[in-house]
Chain A
Amino acid sequence: MMWLKQLFSRRRLYGDLSEEIQEHLEEKIEELVAGGMSRKEATYAARREFGNVTLTEEDSRTVWQWPSIEDFFMDVRFGARMLRKNPGFAAVTIVTLAIGIAANTTIFSAVNGCMLRRPRIKDPARVVVIVTADPAKEGWGWDRQPVSAFDFVAWREQSRSFEAMVAGEQQEFVLSGEGQPERVLGLRVSADYFHSLGVEVALGRTFLADEDQSGRNRVVILSDGLWQRRFGSNPKVMGEVVRLNGEGYTVIGVMSSNYRIGVYGGPELWAPLVFPPESFLPASRGNRSLEVMARLKSGASVETARAEMVTLAQRSEQAHPGTSKGWSASAMSIQHYIADEFGVGMRLQMGVALFVLLIACVNIASLQLARGAERQTEFAVRTALGAGRFRLVRQSLVESLLIALAGGGLGLLLASWGVDLLRRGLSLTADVGSIGREMTIDHTVMIFTLGVSVLAAVLFGLVPAVHQTALGLHSTLKEGSRAISQSKARHRTQSVLVTAEIALALVLLIAAGVFVQEFLDRVHAGFGIDSNQVLTANISLSNAGYKDSSKQAAFFQEAIQRLEALPGVISAGATSTLPLGDYERTVTFSIEGRPALSRTERGRTDYFAISPDYLRALGIPLIRGRNFLSSDSAQEPPVALVNQAFVRRYFPNEDSIGKRIRLDTSGLDRPDWSEIVGVVGDVRDSFEQRKYVPQAYEPYTQKSSSVMTLVVRTGSDPAAFAPTLRRAVWGVDKDQPIAAAQTMNQVMAQSGAGMRVANILIGTFAGLGLALAAVGVFAVMAYAVAQRTHEIGIRMALGARRSDVLRMVVKKGLVLGAVGIGSGLALAAPLVWLKLGLVNDDLLPFDQRGPVFLAAVFLIWLAALLASYVPARRATKVDPILALRHE
């Protein structure tokens, strides 16, 4: 315990040392005086022979210390003192950094929630996702699709890389019985699904090997959430029969609450997956709906599995040529798959947030440089007293670290607020709402924040640290503070920093501007419909009683008739797909009289099965020909409507009315052709989509659908009409569940919500970036003016007018601005373009970007002007007498 004793007795040790050295000098002096020197001479001589007293003392003390740690704590104490002494500097730097860090932490919490969580299955690293892939397309998730049942069965048999291959298919179920009928999302899975993934149920059992046989498949596993919500966590539900789509299913298990694989809200129940016989026809290889996972055999890797999948896909293509043309297969780790689902959007936001942080760092670096000028004397004195360069750099970095940690702490606070905001924004949409739910500030996020803070400290601390300590000792001490302040190198560095900052901010602004432009373009483009005073309600006929297509049509016919009869209803219709809704349906088609093509080579069009009054209810204009009539029944010749985009693309130089087309709405080619009887207006599919795409309509009486959305145009507030609508539908069938009725305006708002949140985020970041950059320019200019007070005084004494001084200072700011804008533009154009192209390939043409670039440049220029004008005004207030009296 020697070291402990030393630690506590150190103060005495140090005292002894000083006294001893003092006595040493005294003794020497006395001896010299005794030898005949004057006392003064003797003192000098003694000191000369002894050497540097302070250094000797310090060296002697060092013997007793753990130098690095103790110096570090000393640096920390000293740094904290320096910050306390400059509260303004400390506040500005800490807040600046906090903003940059908060931006990154907020986005990272989303990344962490969505992309980095491990799936709760056994050994997820050995599980791969198998997809149908298009090798011709770039990555980022655009290039892949689920797997068809046909391919799944073939690949499961033929592959050698896997212990097991399992599939899941999402399906909506209507859960009826006690209480209101309810639609729940279910997943039909292979019998060995849970066994292969190594997932245990909390209660009961998983599926048995033969439960994927038709007839034995009426068993269900409930999610913990559904069990709690619908069954009050009653364990007696086990073995009970529940009604799903009108059929009885026996409850065999309850899933453990923490089970999760993907990102989106998981299914609420699981039932065995049984393939209908038609899915084994080669023609159905195009129906890709299975999410396939496989567990690697020992010895197999993701790479070998991928190679094998490519071979298997080739074999399938050779066996059934043309059935899945252009598509291959691939395998990827589950983590990789999940990350890709969010990939581009999140990476873009991460990048933008990083820009904000970079600007913040540059800002702080330049502030530190400015302050470094004031501290130059301090550093010179310390050098003179024997401090090494490394020691000074370290001191400087420790101070940066203190700022960084304080900024990180504050940033974390700001981020928790940002996460709240973002979560609220995301909750608007169902499909990204689950991202919001996963966003929290957990320990991973905190470690990230700490890491970013430390990294930032190095970023903004190193340049000033090196700069401050690189000084000529002599000149600094000799010339006093003013001479140094004009050190060219420092000014150059500062100018470079400010220029960089302006360039970064410009890139941000342009990126945000481009986003906002795209958004506004979509808002202003119109949707092709009149969405005001329209109520919609999605109805899914999944009860067993509606298997027959004539029954489906009859249900909707009666519902529409009842609605039309209600007072306050202007028109009522139904459509199989609601434009701007959650999804669109695309089918391939052929035109009569043109060369026959295989399915993959045929043209594609959006597809809607509608009732005649749907067009009127949604305000879609009939351009030519006629609308569907109630006489277009299943017994009459098939008819179709197409939109103008369809005509433009496929009948550019001929009259489309009277032509016949065949829409591939089922797995098999139909024998009958539908005659085009009319052309209707274009309707946008989704908010994001800018271009109009071909659309085709068929009457629901001829092409029935079990899922349709009722569309009702009302004379008054559509939202208030919802209960009436429900009653009307239940009048037809009291067991029919109805999803939340929404006004068309709400549907449109949801469709644009994702893009709006992205816009708000990027806009906020750009605004922060601009503000930080303006502060940076301001600080540098203000500092420069303060340093040049003397010079300005002389100029004014020699007759310079205030306007000359103003111009001189502002000019410097604008020169910096111009250089920054130049480099920012060079950086922005390709960067912004590249990133956006990855997010969406339906963008405004590049030549329409001009205004955005101009506006961004103008904003930055204005910010630079303002930021240098204020200090310039101050410069003109310099009183020559006072300035010169400084001497």
Chain B
Amino acid sequence: MKTREQRDLFPGALEMMILKTLKRQPLHGYALVQQIKRTSNDLLQIEEGSLYPALQRLLKEELVKAEWGISSTNRRVRTYKLTAKGAKHLENEVSRFEKMLEGITRVLAPGES
């Protein structure tokens, strides 16, 4: 069993990735996981189940909305779509994250101190 720390890099990371992925196109749960895994070149070990609590949180915050539909493989699926509020939230989060990353990178950068 993986621990929570391994699943989640830092609080909110998973949500951010979900929002970003959904920004490109609406997806259902399974496809979403596959997409994130694929995009990250399998570098991120995500336990598939952990996606769902995160999706519920986003639903509750109304950052995404969901609709039942039929997938291309003729399967009943629930497709998640980014809301306007979600898009805005994503922007904020990403810019915050970039700032943080920049900070970390500077600290970690070799030889400049």
- A residues near B (Cβ < 8 Å) are 6, 16-17, 19-21, 23-24, 26-28, 30, 49-53, 55-57, 59-64
Give CA–CA (A30, B33) in the complex, Å: 16
**With A20-B78, A23-B75 in contact, is A28–B30 under 8 Å at CB?**
yes
List 22 A–B pairs whose Cβ atoms lie within 8 Å, in order of A's numbering.
A16-B68, A17-B56, A19-B78, A20-B29, A20-B52, A20-B78, A23-B30, A26-B75, A28-B30, A28-B48, A30-B73, A49-B47, A49-B48, A50-B49, A51-B49, A52-B1, A56-B52, A60-B52, A60-B53, A61-B56, A63-B53, A64-B60
> Nearest chain B CB to A190's CB is how many angstroms away?
72
Give CA–CA (A426, B68) in the complex, Å: 76
B77 within 8 A of A: yes
B92 within 8 A of A: no
**With A49-B47, A50-B47 in contact, is A27–B52 under 8 Å at CB?**
no
What residues on A are CB-neighbors of B52 within 8 Å? Answer: 17, 20-21, 56-57, 59-60
Given pairs A20-B28, A56-B50, 4 additional interface contacts (CB within 8 A): A6-B60, A19-B76, A23-B75, A56-B49
Nearest A residue to B37 via CB reads A49
What residues on B are CB-neighbors of A6 within 8 Å? Answer: 60
- B residues near A (Cβ < 8 Å) are 1-2, 28-30, 33, 47-50, 52-53, 55-57, 59-60, 66, 68, 73, 75-78
Nearest A residue to B78 via CB reads A20
Nearest A residue to B60 via CB reads A63
Judging by beta carbons under 8 Å apart, are B48 and A51 in contact? Answer: yes
Nearest A residue to B32 via CB reads A24
8 Å CB contact of A64 from B56, B66, B76, B78: B56
> Nearest chain A CB to B60's CB is how many angstroms away?
6
Nearest A residue to B47 via CB reads A51
> Nearest chain B CB to A562's CB is how many angstroms away?
99
Give CA–CA (A52, B68) in the complex, Å: 24
Nearest A residue to B77 via CB reads A23
Please name the 8 residue pairs, one residue from A and one from B, whose CB atoms are nearest each other, closest first.
A51-B49, A56-B49, A63-B56, A59-B53, A51-B47, A60-B56, A50-B48, A60-B53
What residues on A are CB-neighbors of B53 within 8 Å? Answer: 56, 59-60, 62-63
8 Å CB contact of A27 from B55, B68, B73: B73
> Nearest chain B CB to A742's CB is how many angstroms away?
80
What residues on A are CB-neighbors of B77 within 8 Å? Answer: 20, 23, 27
What residues on A are CB-neighbors of B48 within 8 Å? Answer: 24, 28, 49-51
Give CA–CA (A290, B68) in the complex, Å: 89
> Nearest chain B CB to A57's CB is how many angstroms away?
8
Judging by beta carbons under 8 Å apart, are A24 and B29 in contact? Answer: yes
Does more than half of chain A's interface fall in helix, strand or loop, or is it mixed?
A: helix
Judging by beta carbons under 8 Å apart, are A23 and B76 in contact? Answer: yes
Judging by beta carbons under 8 Å apart, are B30 and A24 in contact? Answer: yes
What residues on A are CB-neighbors of B28 within 8 Å? Answer: 20
Give CA–CA (A51, B3) in the complex, Å: 11
8 Å CB contact of B75 from A17, A27, A63, A64: A27
Does more than half of chain B's interface fall in helix, strand or loop, or is it mixed?
A: helix
What residues on A are CB-neighbors of B73 within 8 Å? Answer: 27, 30
> Nearest chain B CB to A21's CB is how many angstroms away?
6
What residues on B are CB-neighbors of A26 within 8 Å? Answer: 75
Judging by beta carbons under 8 Å apart, are A16 and B60 in contact? Answer: no
Give CA–CA (A21, B29) in the complex, Å: 8
> Nearest chain A CB to B105's CB is how many angstroms away?
32
Judging by beta carbons under 8 Å apart, are A63 and B30 in contact? Answer: no
Judging by beta carbons under 8 Å apart, are A53 and B49 in contact? Answer: yes
Nearest B residue to A63 via CB reads B56
What residues on B are CB-neighbors of A49 within 8 Å? Answer: 47-48
What residues on B are CB-neighbors of A62 within 8 Å? Answer: 53
Give CA–CA (A742, B7) in the complex, Å: 90
Give CA–CA (A53, B33) in the complex, Å: 16
Give CA–CA (A49, B56) in the complex, Å: 20
> Nearest chain A CB to B76's CB is how many angstroms away?
6
Nearest B residue to A28 via CB reads B30
What residues on B are CB-neighbors of A24 within 8 Å? Answer: 29-30, 33, 48
What residues on B are CB-neighbors of A20 within 8 Å? Answer: 28-29, 52, 77-78
Nearest B residue to A46 via CB reads B48
> Nearest chain A CB to B70's CB is how many angstroms away?
11
Nearest B residue to A16 via CB reads B78
Give CA–CA (A51, B59) in the complex, Å: 22
Give CA–CA (A24, B31) in the complex, Å: 9
Judging by beta carbons under 8 Å apart, are A27 and B47 in contact? Answer: no
Nearest B residue to A2 via CB reads B62
> Nearest chain A CB to B30's CB is how many angstroms away?
5
> Nearest chain A CB to B79's CB is how many angstroms away?
11
> Nearest chain A CB to B113's CB is how many angstroms away?
42
Judging by beta carbons under 8 Å apart, are A63 and B50 in contact? Answer: no
Judging by beta carbons under 8 Å apart, are B57 and A63 in contact? Answer: yes
Give CA–CA (A62, B59) in the complex, Å: 13
Tell which of A6, A30, A63 has the most Cβ of chain B within 10 Å.
A63
What residues on B are CB-neighbors of A19 within 8 Å? Answer: 76, 78
Tell which of B52, B57, B59 has the most Cβ of chain A within 10 Å.
B52
What residues on A are CB-neighbors of B78 within 8 Å? Answer: 16, 19-20, 23
Give CA–CA (A53, B1) in the complex, Å: 13
Give CA–CA (A788, B33) in the complex, Å: 55
Tell which of A24, A49, A52, A64 has the most Cβ of chain B within 10 Å.
A24
Give CA–CA (A224, B11) in the complex, Å: 73
> Nearest chain B CB to A581's CB is how many angstroms away?
80
What residues on B are CB-neighbors of A27 within 8 Å? Answer: 30, 73, 75, 77
Give CA–CA (A6, B62) in the complex, Å: 12
Nearest B residue to A20 via CB reads B78
> Nearest chain B CB to A462's CB is how many angstroms away?
29
Judging by beta carbons under 8 Å apart, are B49 and A52 in contact? Answer: yes
What residues on B are CB-neighbors of A30 within 8 Å? Answer: 73
What residues on A are CB-neighbors of B59 within 8 Å? Answer: 63
Give CA–CA (A64, B55) in the complex, Å: 12
Give CA–CA (A447, B19) in the complex, Å: 53
What residues on A are CB-neighbors of B1 within 8 Å? Answer: 51-52
Give CA–CA (A30, B77) in the complex, Å: 15
What residues on B are CB-neighbors of A23 within 8 Å? Answer: 29-30, 75-78
> Nearest chain A CB to B42's CB is how many angstroms away?
12
Give CA–CA (A26, B56) in the complex, Å: 20
Give CA–CA (A191, B68) in the complex, Å: 89
> Nearest chain A CB to B63's CB is how many angstroms away?
13
Judging by beta carbons under 8 Å apart, are B60 and A51 in contact? Answer: no
Give CA–CA (A17, B53) in the complex, Å: 10
Nearest A residue to B73 via CB reads A27
Give CA–CA (A63, B55) in the complex, Å: 10
Nearest A residue to B71 via CB reads A27
What residues on B are CB-neighbors of A59 within 8 Å? Answer: 52-53
Give CA–CA (A59, B75) in the complex, Å: 25
> Nearest chain B CB to A32's CB is how many angstroms away?
12
Give CA–CA (A679, B68) in the complex, Å: 112
Give CA–CA (A691, B2) in the complex, Å: 82
> Nearest chain B CB to A51's CB is how many angstroms away?
4
> Nearest chain B CB to A341's CB is how many angstroms away?
62
Give CA–CA (A453, B68) in the complex, Å: 51
Nearest A residue to B2 via CB reads A51
What residues on A are CB-neighbors of B50 within 8 Å? Answer: 51, 56
What residues on A are CB-neighbors of B55 within 8 Å? Answer: 60
Give CA–CA (A157, B23) in the complex, Å: 90
Give CA–CA (A55, B66) in the complex, Å: 22
> Nearest chain A CB to B49's CB is how many angstroms away?
4
> Nearest chain B CB to A56's CB is how many angstroms away?
4
> Nearest chain B CB to A65's CB is how many angstroms away?
10
Give CA–CA (A24, B76) in the complex, Å: 10
Tell which of B2, B49, B76, B77 has the most Cβ of chain A within 10 Å.
B49
> Nearest chain B CB to A521's CB is how many angstroms away?
72
> Nearest chain B CB to A320's CB is how many angstroms away?
82
Give CA–CA (A63, B53) in the complex, Å: 7
Give CA–CA (A59, B52) in the complex, Å: 8
What residues on B are CB-neighbors of A50 within 8 Å? Answer: 47-49
> Nearest chain A CB to B50's CB is how many angstroms away?
7
> Nearest chain A CB to B52's CB is how many angstroms away?
5
Give CA–CA (A6, B68) in the complex, Å: 18
